[in-house]
Structure 1
């Protein structure tokens, strides 16, 4: 009888081992083919795949440092940009569970230096990107900053405190705001009387044994095994500097190996518990209780959930988030129904976060999809039409100043086109799209509209992706 019971077990064991011996080399070959363009002369990527709590794939490609010929490894430390946000949100949830704050708290309870906007901005609004607070990168570039300038939390808070208006009324819409997560990190500091770096290290990274993970709030810090970021220019890779010291929305440095430990915590909690994680994974809502929509295309809708996005890939529920700063690109994807997590950390500006990530998903869930691949068609481009405008371009010239940004622009007329100049920026030629509306590019595309008081020009308002209707007054 014992022999009869043991025989199927032995057969099952042999089948399992045979399956692994066939599948693992197959995955290895597919991964190697996917990343064959990375070598010692290029930056690259570190990949870790976790299935049922175990690492089933771990490999790195390309170089961490091209100047010194240092290869990427699973222990290489990358800056993971906006993937940092879920850690900041989790810190807030830990404090809420302990009763040290409420998600319904008015943020001015902790950051009283912010102006009052009439309607309270609550912690949950910051978490969900529904606060209406202007994005820090969008605002600072309008103020004449460059993306590679030094940017610290202190500077960002000072600029934010000068903002007299919001992009929209809190709780009524979704508007991605890095600034909101800067404020969340500051709330953690003021509640705990610890630096954000110390709090997250002691309460998240140490319990999870994420020994190579830390929020850095000083860009001078020496970080062992750190990758440098790169971008191609004229066919050659150049280094992209990152001098940001703003822990919260970004600035988390970690490894692909450590991120696997974080991913596993969602399935078998070491920090938090099942109830906290369930609440953390819930889709965020507006004040009217409607879900916060991150993006919608046809029948596909992506929802936001506290530093994460929830959606379905070919019918399979996914919880993901990507990150991009300087030349760093990062992706953490979890597929809860299959207990599968994929981590991809890259120092290549041109790394295709989603496209490459979904190819890796295909390697592991190929036979699990319930929906076919959708073919997205490109939108038809509208033709440009010639307009006759009543305003004379010369009427718009002059010097304009914004108290909110503590900066000014000079508008001049050159070769029958308006140009705006700033002491720290290259001159920007404007393209006319309406009688008083123009577009231009300053790190990000913007729209500028001149404002009249009866017949005289009194200023302009400028908007980009994350800062709406920032007002400038004309000073002749």
Structure 2
């Protein structure tokens, strides 16, 4: 659902991986029971070989020691197989798996993510080599080999097909302190997968004639400010309301991840807001606030708490006996999994103290969630009309769609119709994907922050639906490999492009190759598709440069997932011209009830707050700075005196702070 650390929105929520021109260093062969240790420097690629017979499965573990690396595997013909990079930074394990199709030498390649970070060390070890799995169940187990241990957190899986659970299993530990294993009956917090239950509750009440999706939210919750624009329940359920995100607001106000956060806390901060990010219906921007409000609408209309309503109208009829909305952070839940993350010392607890529901906080098991998925093909609650309404793509004011429906996302996966949503809170990672035409669903829960539940779910989909999915054919020689663009043309693209406040993409050139560096992210290669359009390597996205009538490049656009983001080119800025003392002072936000203190230290402008870590701000434009809080724009009056500033992050725009001193 979110990352509670203060940081900029990543490049369209994708963390790009570096694929830079680097020096290859052959490090020799790996053998079983052998551990290799090495130091790696920026710009290096370390390559290891491992001999595998046909149809073997190999599992490797790499321990990072002060350097964040990406591991890439190649087959016996030198063709790339897969990248491995967990979000655990410069310390902790990276788990690598490799399945051989033919006998030969396979390659394990290690390279630093950031070409600018200092050198670091790592250890690489072969954990296991065995015959690859044959049956479907064995193949699923093989996917989870790296988590199937009593020494680490893990995952629970359920596969549903044609009205029945055809596979379910747990891997790893639900509780490391007491060595309690994960089973299909283990209860997980599933974060944003909760949202579809909130929408379903609203639709049940609409079916009874007690409300309408097109009602104004202020009809039910008058505490929501009057922004002069109607915000409907439909806007809330499709992330198109324009409301600022509750977690981002609390972040900016100094709340910690492990603070107790109740519904009342969220409603109070919403009630103080004075602006929207955009007019309702004009844009899509993921917003948890809307679903907290929807849950409160259910409570006020039904006369029951949201937890009571969902228990009576959803969980009990579907016999989801281990499922509840967790609205009391002190409540005892039997058989629950606790969540973890990793650092250089090993596994650490990720404490979660939520006492709010709607956007998150559904506790359930993979077995119970399977019963939820079965309801869509054999209805015990709701009906086809309700399901179709829930699955219909939302439409923006301009008539366009964006992949979002009511509380879930609808699209295609390898040619198949898919309805899905993922979740991430603390160390919990959850994913539910449904393929209605195939009457097939996959559920994956995990209790470790490094885990990619969506990726693992789709690997399971690939196994069970291999005869139905469409795989794009790979040409031996693609046209992109043949495109050569004159260096003088490439030089005209070099510069900075602003995707959104605080998110700038810097385009550079090196050895005739273009690279893009988004604010706060790793550099990524751009491969030419034409003279003006480039593929962002590693993801399904493209970056195009837009010339004016006189041939100058005035803007660019990023295309990804059916969305297009315009990025005007911004003029080079000389940071040396900034007088930092002009921006020193105390600033107060009435909307957050909090104060920021900007001070000059060591030639830098530093943002200080009583509960936040100090944030270094870097000047990017006149009166504009960026840092881990996003963008801070200082505002001057008619006398050129600074009177306040506006802070913008990915899900909060133009939050006003008045200067006090």
**TM-score, normalisation: structure 2:** 0.65
Look up the SS of the partner of 2:218 in the other structure: helix
Return the match for 2:421 from 318, 321, 324: 321
1:470 correspondence with 2:655 = yes
How far residue 386 of structure 1 moved from its aligned partner, in angstroms, is 6.3
Look up the SS of the partner of 2:645 in the other structure: strand
Return the match for 1:357 from 441, 452, 457: 457
Look up the SS of the partner of 1:247 in the other structure: coil
Q: In 2, Cα distance between the equivalents of 1:347 and 1:36?
A: 16
**8 Å contact from structure 2 (residues 573, 621) kept in 1:** no
Structure 2 counterpart of 1:380: 515
1:224 correspondence with 2:334 = yes
Q: In 2, Cα distance between the equivalents of 1:362 and 1:446?
A: 38
Look up the SS of the partner of 2:196 in the other structure: helix
5+ residue gaps, structure 2, are 1-132, 481-512, 520-571
Would you tell me which structure has more helix in proportion to its own residues?
1
**8 Å contact from structure 1 (residues 390, 435) kept in 2:** no
1:370 correspondence with 2:470 = yes
Look up the SS of the partner of 2:516 in the other structure: coil
Q: In 2, Cα distance between the equivalents of 1:139 and 1:108?
A: 20
Q: In 2, Cα distance between the equivalents of 1:357 and 1:205?
A: 24
**8 Å contact from structure 2 (residues 136, 463) kept in 1:** yes
**8 Å contact from structure 2 (residues 324, 363) kept in 1:** yes
Look up the SS of the partner of 2:183 in the other structure: coil
5+ residue gaps, structure 1, are 1-23, 294-302
**8 Å contact from structure 1 (residues 314, 373) kept in 2:** no
Question: Deviation above 4 Å: which 4+ runs of structure 1?
Answer: 382-386
Structure 2 counterpart of 1:6: none
Change (3 A) 1:311 1:473: same
How far residue 389 of structure 1 moved from its aligned partner, in angstroms, is 5.4
**8 Å contact from structure 2 (residues 644, 657) kept in 1:** yes
**8 Å contact from structure 1 (residues 128, 285) kept in 2:** no
Q: In 2, Cα distance between the equivalents of 1:200 and 1:367?
A: 38
Structure possessing the higher relative contact order (Cα contacts under 8 Å, 6 or more residues apart): 1
Structure 1 counterpart of 2:602: 415
Q: In 1, Cα distance between the equivalents of 2:345 and 2:388?
A: 47
**8 Å contact from structure 2 (residues 573, 620) kept in 1:** no
Look up the SS of the partner of 1:380 in the other structure: strand
Q: In 2, Cα distance between the equivalents of 1:46 and 1:382?
A: 37
CA RMSD, 1 decimal? 1.9
Change (3 A) 1:356 1:209: same
Q: In 1, Cα distance between the equivalents of 2:444 and 2:580?
A: 50
How far residue 25 of structure 1 moved from its aligned partner, in angstroms, is 6.0
Change (3 A) 1:31 1:379: farther
How far residue 290 of structure 1 moved from its aligned partner, in angstroms, is 2.5
Structure 1 counterpart of 2:630: 446
Q: In 1, Cα distance between the equivalents of 2:414 and 2:328?
A: 42
Structure 2 counterpart of 1:285: 395
List aligned pairs for 1:33-432, cutoff 5 A. 33-38=142-147, 39-234=149-344, 236-291=346-401, 293=402, 303-372=403-472, 380-382=515-517, 387-388=574-575, 390-432=577-619
Look up the SS of the partner of 2:283 in the other structure: coil
Would you tell me which structure has more strand in proportion to its own residues?
2
How far residue 126 of structure 1 moved from its aligned partner, in angstroms, is 0.4
Look up the SS of the partner of 1:430 in the other structure: strand
Look up the SS of the partner of 1:381 in the other structure: strand
